């Protein structure tokens, strides 16, 4: 079981921003920006974006809309949305998650 599933199950605490039947959003424990939260699906079906199937289309849309609504709620006009897909690009938790980061300037391209 991943650490995110334990957060979904409330077996370990997290600083939760938002929750509904399909997703959960909580502050990243090791923030890379003044505001850094994660939006995750409650299902464990998708370990990374490349495992998502057409049937997950509505869920993925819901995660994105939730991410932008929470960014607005946090007072962010400009923000960065990141999905690390695979170990080679830095994914460490194999439960799909959208990073939302803001509150400082960012450079492009990312490292
Ligand atoms: P990634 O490297 O894309 O897989 O991102 C995983 C993220 O989860 C990292 O930014 C971690 O800091 C974050 N993280 C790991 N454990 C926890 C936790 N218990 N609560 C909140 N965020 C966590």
pLDDT in tens, 59-110: 999 999 999 999 999 999 999 999 999 999 999 999 999 999 999 999 999 9
Q: 86, 50 in Cβ contact below 8 A?
A: yes
Q: Which atom of ligand 1 has the smallest separation from the CA of 27?
A: 21
Number of helices (H) and strands (E), helices first, in the chain?
Answer: 2, 5
Nearest C-alpha to atom 18 of ligand 1 is from which residue? 29
Nearest 5°: phi and psi at 20? Answer: -140, -165
- 97 carries an active-site annotation: yes
- CATH number of residue 42's parent domain: 3.30.428.10
Per the structure, the complete domain to which residue 59 belongs is given by 3-102
Q: 60, 25 in Cβ contact below 8 A?
A: no
At residue 81, the 3 state secondary structure works out as: strand
What's the whole-number average pLDDT of the chain?
A: 98
> Over the stretch 26-49, which tens digit does the pLDDT of each residue have?
999 999 999 999 999 999 999 999
Total count of domains within the chain: 1
Q: What is the pLDDT of residue 111?
A: 82
Q: 44, 5 in Cβ contact below 8 A?
A: yes
Which of 47, 93, 111 has most ligand 1 atoms within 8 Å of CB, for mutation? 93
* Statement: the pTM of the whole predicted model exceeds 0.85: yes
């Amino acid at each position: 079981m991943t650490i995110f599933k334990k957060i979904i199950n409330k077996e370990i605490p997290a600083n939760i921003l938002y929750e509904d039947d399909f997703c959960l959003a909580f502050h990243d424990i090791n923030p890379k920006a003044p505001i850094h939260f994660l939006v995750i699906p409650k299902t464990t079906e998708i370990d990374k974006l490349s495992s998502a199937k057409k049937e997950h289309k509505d869920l993925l849309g819901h995660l994105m809309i939730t991410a932008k609504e929470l960014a607005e709620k946090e007072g962010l006009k400009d923000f960065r949305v990141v999905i690390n897909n695979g170990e080679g690009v830095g994914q460490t938790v194999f439960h799909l998650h959208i990073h939302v980061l803001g509150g400082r300037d960012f450079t492009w391209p990312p490292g």
